[in-house]
Amino acid sequence: MKSIVEVLKQYWPELMLISIVALYVYLKFIRRGGGNK
Is residue 15 within 8 Å of residue 8, measured between CB atoms? Answer: yes
pLDDT (0 to 100) of residue 23: 96
pLDDT tens-digit map of 1-37: 789 899 888 999 999 999 999 999 999 988 887 666 5
Q: List Cβ<8 Å contacts ≥24 apart for 29-33.
A: none
**Does the reported pTM lie above 0.75?**
no
Q: Domain count of the chain? A: 1
Range of the domain at 15: 1-37
